[in-house]
Each structure stands twice: as C-alpha cells, then as structure tokens.
C-alpha cells in the first residue's frame, strides 16, 4: 500500500489487504489444539483430574504406567474486530490518514481470520454503527467486511457508541481492538470495556494507532490545534509546549499499557505513518513464537 | 528655545522598523491543525496566549517609545535661554583685522555700545600672525601665510582666553569666516559672529581709505630704507591700497600726523624729535644712539637687533606647517620670495623675514625678527607690478559669490549684557530610557516564563 493513498472503494481495499495477507507467514492463532480427537498426536503422563476414560489401557498393560492419549482437534474461534470509528481517527499526518490505516488493518486482520476459517465479526465504535452493521450477531463474509469499512466515516465519541461488553456474547472469542485509545478522563471508557471483556475470558489484542507528530507535537512554532472530537481549539507554541506534552503523553500510555497487561491484554503500538505489513508481520511472528 | 546639537542622528529613527518587524512577526496567525485530542495540552497556555495577544500592542508602543527616546538622546536636545547677569564681567572681543575700522561697521560698535557700564572690554585684533592688541597698530601681515592657520590660531587664542567671568566674542569677516564654519570647530564658549556681508562695506572702506605711509630716513641710511620697503611689500598682502612717501629727516616741520604709519630711520648724526616720536606708529632707528629709553617702548623695533638675528628656516606656503602644532619659528613666504631671499642671503650674507613664535611667558603668539633686507630692485620687481586692487576684489567677489549666499543668512544674533544658558536633557533621558528598557525586559520575561 502506498501510505499516502486514501482507500476509496471496496475493491481497492480488498486488493491491498489480500496482497498484504499474502505476504504474512503467520496467522492470528494456532489452527489446532490437542484434545479428544481422531488424529493421534502424543502420549502424556496422567495427571490428577484427567478423565480416566482417556487413559491408554494397552500402554498401561505394557508399561504399568498411566498415560493419556492425546489427539489434535481442529479449532474454530470467533474473531471480533472492534474498530474505533470515533472522530479522532480522522487525523491525518504527512498525508497519511489514521483512518485509512485502521480500515486496512481491520481488513487484513479479518482476512487472516478468514483464511484460518474463523467466524468474522466486526464491531464499530460509531454513533451510527447499527446502520452499518445490520447483522451484528452473525458472521460476516470478508467481502462484506470490506464493503462496510469503505463506507464508514469516523464521527462522534467512543461514549456515543452502542458498544458494550455484552456485544460479544458469552462465548469465549478473540477480540482485536483497533483504536488510538483516546478516552475521556471522566469515563475511561476503553479501560472499562477492556476490563469487562478480560473478565469474560475473551482474548483481547489492542492495536494502538499513533503518529509521530501526535506524540511529539513536531509542528510549526505557532499552531492552532482543533480537537477532532470536541471541536475545541487551542493556540499552542509548540516549542514551549512539546516537552510537557510528550511527558504527559508518555505517562498516560505507560499507565494504560500497564493496566492492559495486568489484565492479560496484549498491546501492539502501530505507527500509522510507517509500513503496515512490516509492523504486523513482526507482531505476528512474535506472537507465534510465544504460542 | 529648543535646539539639537547632533541633528544628523535623526536618521536613526529608521530603527523604528525593528519593533514593527517584531510586532508583525508575533502577530502572525497560527496555523490551524486538526488534532486527535488536546487533552494533554495544558489549557493554561491558551490563557497565556490571550494575554500575550493583548499585551503585544502595549509592548510595541513601549519599544517604539524607547527607540524614540534613544534617538532623542543622541540628538542631544537642549533648551537655551538668556538671563540677565549681575556680576561684573570682562568682555574680550576678537576682531578680524579686516574689520579694524570698527567705527564704520554698525554691528560691532552696536555691540560695544551695548555692553553694561560696569563691565570692562578688551579689544583684540586677529591678524595672520596671530593676535595683536588693537592699540599697538602693528599691522604687518605675513606674506602669503595660509589663512586657515589664522583660523587655527583663533582657536588657540580663544581657548587660552577662556577664563571665568569672561565673555568671548569674535567678529569674523568673510575672509576669515570661510575657515570658521566649514573647516574649524570653534569652542562652544566662543561666540563667533560671522559677518559675510561685511565685504561690501570693507571694499568701500578699502576704496575710500588707503594706508598712507611715510618713510623718514637719515641721509646716510638710504640702504637701510630698504627694510621699510620690504615691510611695505608685506603690507600689500593686507589687501589695502597704500601709498608711501620717502623723506629725509632732519626737518623740524616733518608732518608725521599726515601718515597712517611712519617709519623713522635715524643715526647718530641726526637729532631725533623725541617728543614727536612718541606718536609715531612705527619707528626704526640706529640703536647706537638711542638705547634704554626706546627699548621699553613696544612700538619700537631696533634695527641692529634685527640684523643680528639668525636666519630662520623658510617654509613655502605649500608646506602646510601648522604654527600651533609646530611650536617653532615658522616663516611663510611664497616660492618666489623664498628664491629671492636665498639669493639675498647668498649675495649679502643676511636676509630677514618676520616670523611668529609662541612666547611661553606671555602665553601668546608674538612677532619675532625684523624686516627683511631686500634690495630695492627686488621691491620694484614685486611691488611695482602688484595685482591691482580692482582685479583682486573681482577675484575675491567671484569666490565669494559661491559661498556667501548661505552665509548671509547665518549671521548670528547676539544679546549684550545677558547670559546664554543651556539646559541639556540627556541626564533625564538616560534615566527614562533605562526605565523603559527595564519595563520592556520584565514584561517580556514575565510573558515567556
């Protein structure tokens, strides 16, 4: 993808995401897990609590030791992508749009899940999310996902959306949150929903989209910053402000990352001004190594 | 009356561009940028920016005011006023030698008449040889002495006479005035009155009054009379027409009063009319006979002393020897005269020229030496065909026409019996500028911290 380009059509998004998916070696999760199945995998020593029915009696007879027979079983999980479509995602830096990056990342992640045969679900953090996602509770086709993504325009705030912790049902699933993680100090809505999802044993991965200037305020000396969500304006002399700003930003993200990690949530910072494929491939590689 | 001493610094007002540039630079509009969240930006900065925008015009005004005062300081403004004096003063009046017949020139006589009765007056005449008191009537001009040296001497003399309780006034004719304003910076305590229009009157004076010189000599002193002839040659440089008459002495009916200047040459065989000689302007005589009595007189020059003086070094007028800087015997003469003097020196063994020298005791420039010994043929060669008076005036008029247009308007007014006082503003301006500068700095520091 040319980072400066803005994706305008579904076919464009499909093409770019499929090319990126094609270059990725690793998936989001292992395809199979060990358990009761037809395909033998290995013997394992019996441990207290294991079902006695899984004991291999023949081996017990030969060796007088207790072994459990394990076999590979195919696993299909539900892949939920929560895409932050609040107004702050409209930010553009050096001609590169955070929103374009976000929909491309969503498309690629859902494409990966689709490749692994998972059930795809897309949740939008948007005041009018329901208009875009009529079949919220049902699985989506990847082409449908791309269609929706190209038609959504970020607006409103996170707290305006209808997204709740119940949106994902009770079944354990993988939740991929794509957001710039700007929340209000009053509600802390992102932390709250992450906490609830973690409590429901969902596997939550947060992709944090951030630009360079967004972090260090590397603008001209005198700028008037307009908040994309609240429309408030503030005149800033960047040379005098950027140091304090960067410090408070760093402290904020570190606190948020720490709270996520305590909940077992994986956080992946993504610089939307840099190449998506490289950053995602690196993440998936690290993830595969951990699994 | 308010005046400025250094009006040329007015051009520094261009520095007002600096605060204007700073003001415009700070007044530029901020670039609008859509930003995801301003939650982490201190809102206090916004208030500060509003304060800054409000204070910008005031700061600009403060800076402009500071620069204006700084330029005003460099202009060195002063307020001058006249104040009646009560103490008794000595007025020293320097008059250009061209203006010697002061009774014919109203401004000077008006000035003298206007002096308070309690004050005393000392009258000085400026000649090319420096300064001579008017009552001595020594009117022997140095031949071809550069006039700007006379201007330098005037500076020197004015500085020397700058005593307390004195007023120094100087009346300069066009002849010396041309060295006054343009080339010489006269001390502030010397009130210089330029009289450029005087030349018209002066010419009338010159036309009407010529110097009538009488040369009385004993019968055996025919050769010595040439000293006087040399003096006459020098006199021609005064710019005045002159006539002279050579007579043998010994006649009781000699009418000295008929001449403006009388040169009286006598020897031992001549009976000298002592009483009558007291009124003679200038006298040369044989010192073998007359010694003690006349040596005390200031208007008597002794011939044999002159003859015994060493021959000074002659300088051409083109040598630019400054009599003030070079405190030595300095004699100026034209190149032609210098050649003649050399010839005389080689042939006869002695030749003298008047020259000036700074006398430490009297702290003044005085005449040294005596009249040169020039043979008559030299006189004839030089004096028989002088530049005619009319031609000389015509040349001077041509030169004057270019320079005197503005000078005519510059004639200074003066007030007699009043004291001119100047109040300078710079001490107060310094305090004001420092204060404004400090306010500006504190303002800026408070804004930025």
Q: Would residue A270 count as lying in a domain? A: yes
B36–A214 C-beta distance less than 8 A: yes
Chain A neighbors of B447, CB-CB under 8 A? none
Residue A4 lies in a domain: no
Asked if the Cβ–Cβ distance from B37 to A185 is below 8 Å, we say no
Shared-domain flag, residues B228 and B214 = yes
Residues A61 and A133 in one domain: no
- B299's enclosing H/E stretch is none
Q: Which domain holds residue A159?
A: 10-30+77-290
d(CA B31, CA B43): 18
Residues A44 and A178 in one domain: no
| CA-angle at B327, arms to B322 and B333, nearest 5° | 50
Q: What is the pLDDT of residues B422-442, one digit of tens each?
A: 788 888 888 888 998 898 888
Using the Cβ of A60 and the Cβ atoms of chain B, whether some distance falls under 8 Å is answered with: no
Give A-chain residues touching B30 at CB under 8 angstroms.
222-224, 235-236
How many angstroms separate the Cα of A186 from the Cα of each of A182, A183, B46?
A: 12, 8, 22
Are B45 and A245 within 8 A, CB to CB?
A: no
A94 within a domain of the structure (yes/no): yes
Name which residue leads in pLDDT, B337 or B3: B3
User: Among residues A50, A74, A98, which one ends one of the domains?
Assistant: A74
Q: Which residues on A lie below 8 Å from B445 (Cβ)?
A: none
Query: A165 and A24: one domain?
Result: yes
Q: Tell me, yes or no, whether A1 lies in a domain.
A: no
Judged against a pLDDT cut of 70, whether residue A81 lies above it is answered with yes
Which one of A20, A54, A74 terminates a domain? A74
pLDDT class of A178 with cuts at 50, 70, 90: very high
User: In this structure, are B335 and B357 located in the same domain?
Assistant: yes
If asked whether residues B258 and B328 sit together in one domain, one would say yes
Task: Answer yes or no: is A224 within a domain.
Answer: yes
Q: Which of B27, B34, B37 to mutate to test the interface with A (most CBs of A within 10 A)?
A: B37
Q: Are residues B64 and B107 in the same domain?
A: no
Give yes or no: residues A166 and A132 share one domain: yes
Distance from C-alpha of A239 to C-alpha of A129, rounded to nearest angstrom: 40
Q: Do A63 and A194 reside in the same domain of the chain?
A: no
CB contact under 8 A, B36 and A224: no
Going by their DSSP bridges, the two strands A203-210 and A174-179 should be labelled as parallel
User: Are residues A149 and A275 part of one domain?
Assistant: yes
The answer to the question of residue B35 being in a domain is no
Lowest mean pLDDT among B45-59, B335-349, B373-387: B373-387
Highest mean pLDDT: which of A25-29, A239-243, B197-201? Answer: A239-243
Tell me the pLDDT tens digit for each residue of B141-193.
232 334 445 555 666 666 666 666 667 776 666 555 444 333 445 555 666 66
Confidence of residue B295 (pLDDT cuts 50, 70, 90): very low
Rounded to 5°, the CA angle B251-B257-B262 comes to 75
Tell me which residue has tokens 């195919």: A74
pLDDT-based confidence at residue A5 (cuts at 50, 70, 90)? low
Tokens 């001058």, residue located:
B80
For B107-153, the pLDDT digits (tens) are 666 676 677 766 666 666 554 443 433 332 222 223 233 444 555 56
Q: Tell me: pLDDT of B90 over 80.
A: no
Residue B39 lies in a domain: no
* pLDDT value for B189: 61
| CATH number of the domain to which A108 belongs | 3.40.50
- Distance between start and end Cα atoms, chain B: 47
Residue B32 pLDDT more than 70? yes
What's the domain count of chain B? Answer: 3
Q: Which of A85, A89, A224 to mutate to test the interface with B (most CBs of B within 10 A)?
A: A224
Statement to judge: residues A180 and A54 lie in one domain: no
CB contact, 8 Å: A235 with chain B? Answer: yes
User: Structural domain of residue B173, as residue ranges?
Assistant: 87-204+405-416
Residues in chain B closer than 8 A to A224 (CB atoms): 30-33
**ipTM computed for the complex:** 0.78
Residue B45 near chain A (CB below 8 Å)? yes
| The pLDDT of residue A229 is above 80 | yes
B165 and B312, same domain (yes or no): no
Q: What mean pLDDT is predicted for residues A117-137?
A: 72
Q: What are the C-alpha distances in Å from B247 to residues B211, B217, B281?
A: 17, 6, 16
Across chain A, mean pLDDT equals 81
Of A74, A96, A129, the last residue of a domain is A74
Q: Would residue A5 count as lying in a domain?
A: no
Number of domains in chain A: 2
Question: Are A225 and A129 part of one and the same domain?
Answer: yes
Could you tell me the pTM of the whole model? 0.46
Q: Examine the domain organization and report whether A101 and A186 are in the same domain.
A: yes
Residues of B in contact with A101 (CB under 8 A): none
Q: Are A121 and A135 in contact (CB under 8 A)?
A: no
CB contact under 8 A, B41 and A225: yes
In a domain, A189, yes or no: yes
Question: Does B36 map to a domain?
Answer: no
Please determine, for residue A80, whether its predicted confidence score (pLDDT) is greater than 90: no
């Amino acid at each position: 993808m040319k980072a400066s380009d803005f994706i305008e059509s579904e076919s464009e998004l499909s093409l770019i995401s499929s090319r990126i998916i094609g270059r990725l070696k690793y998936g989001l999760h292992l395809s199979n897990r060990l358990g009761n199945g037809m395909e033998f995998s290995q013997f394992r020593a019996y441990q207290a609590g294991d079902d006695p029915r899984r004991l291999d009696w023949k081996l017990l007879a030969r060796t007088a030791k207790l072994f459990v027979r394990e076999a590979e079983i195919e696993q299909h999980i539900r892949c939920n992508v929560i895409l932050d479509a609040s107004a702050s995602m409209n930010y553009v830096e050096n001609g590169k749009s955070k929103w374009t990056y976000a929909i491309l990342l969503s498309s690629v992640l859902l494409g990966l899940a689709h490749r692994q045969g998972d059930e795809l679900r897309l949740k939008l953090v948007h005041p009018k999310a329901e208009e875009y996602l009529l079949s919220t509770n049902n699985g989506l086709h990847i082409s449908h996902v791309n269609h929706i993504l190209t038609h959504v325009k970020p607006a409103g705030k996170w707290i305006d959306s209808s997204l709740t912790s119940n949106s994902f049902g009770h079944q354990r699933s993988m939740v991929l949150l794509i957001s710039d993680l700007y929340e209000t100090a009053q509600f802390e809505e992102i932390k709250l929903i992450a906490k609830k999802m973690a409590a429901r044993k969902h596997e939550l991965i947060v992709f944090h989209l951030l630009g360079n200037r967004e972090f260090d305020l590397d603008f001209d000396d005198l700028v008037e910053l307009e908040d994309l969500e609240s429309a408030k304006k503030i005149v800033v002399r960047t040379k005098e402000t950027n140091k304090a700003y960067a410090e408070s930003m760093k402290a904020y993200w570190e606190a948020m990352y720490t709270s996520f990690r305590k909940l077992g949530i994986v956080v992946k910072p993504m610089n939307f001004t840099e190449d998506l494929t490289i950053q995602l491939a690196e993440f998936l590689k690290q993830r595969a190594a951990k699994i | 009356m308010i005046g400025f001493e250094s009006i040329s610094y007015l051009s520094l007002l261009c520095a007002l561009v600096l605060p204007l540039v700073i003001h415009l630079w700070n007044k530029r509009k901020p670039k609008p940028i859509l930003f995801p969240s301003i939650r982490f930006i201190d809102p206090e900065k916004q208030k500060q920016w509003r304060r800054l925008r409000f204070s910008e015009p005031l700061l600009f005004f403060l800076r402009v005011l500071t620069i204006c005062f700084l330029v005003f300081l460099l202009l060195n403004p002063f307020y001058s006023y006249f104040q009646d004096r009560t103490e008794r003063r000595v007025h020293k009046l320097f008059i250009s030698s061209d203006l010697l017949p002061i009774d014919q020139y109203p401004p000077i006589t008006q000035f003298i008449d206007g002096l308070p009765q309690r004050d005393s007056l000392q009258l000085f005449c400026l000649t090319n040889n420096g300064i001579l008191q008017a009552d001595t009537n020594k009117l022997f001009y140095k031949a071809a002495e550069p006039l700007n040296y006379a201007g330098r001497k005037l500076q020197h003399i004015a500085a020397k006479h700058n005593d307390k309780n004195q007023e120094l006034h100087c009346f300069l004719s066009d002849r010396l005035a041309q060295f006054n304003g343009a080339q010489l910076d006269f001390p502030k305590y010397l009130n210089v009155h330029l009289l450029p229009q005087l030349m018209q009157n002066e010419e009338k004076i010159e036309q009407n009054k010529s110097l009538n010189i009488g040369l009385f000599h004993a019968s055996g002193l025919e050769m010595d009379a040439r000293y006087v002839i040399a003096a006459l040659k020098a006199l021609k440089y005064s710019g005045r027409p002159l006539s002279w008459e050579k007579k043998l002495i010994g006649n009781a009916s000699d009418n000295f009063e008929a001449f403006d200047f009388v040169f009286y040459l006598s020897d031992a065989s001549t009976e000298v009319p002592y009483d009558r000689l007291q009124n003679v302007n200038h006298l040369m005589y044989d010192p073998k006979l007359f010694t003690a009595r006349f040596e005390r007189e200031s208007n008597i020059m002794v011939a044999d002393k002159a003859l015994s003086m060493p021959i000074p070094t002659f300088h051409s007028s083109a040598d630019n020897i400054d009599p003030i800087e070079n405190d030595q015997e300095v004699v100026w003469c034209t190149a032609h005269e210098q050649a003649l003097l050399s010839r005389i020196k080689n042939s006869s063994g002695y030749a003298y020229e008047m020259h000036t020298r700074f006398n430490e005791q009297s702290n003044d420039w005085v005449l040294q030496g005596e009249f040169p010994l020039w043979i008559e043929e030299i006189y004839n060669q030089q004096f028989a065909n002088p530049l005619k008076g009319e031609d000389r005036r015509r040349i001077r008029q041509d030169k004057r026409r270019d320079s005197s247009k503005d000078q005519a308007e510059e004639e200074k007014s003066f007030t007699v019996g009043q004291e001119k006082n100047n109040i300078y503003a710079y001490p107060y301006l310094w305090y004001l500028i420092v204060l404004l500068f400090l306010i500006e700095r504190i303002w800026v520091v408070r804004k930025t911290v």
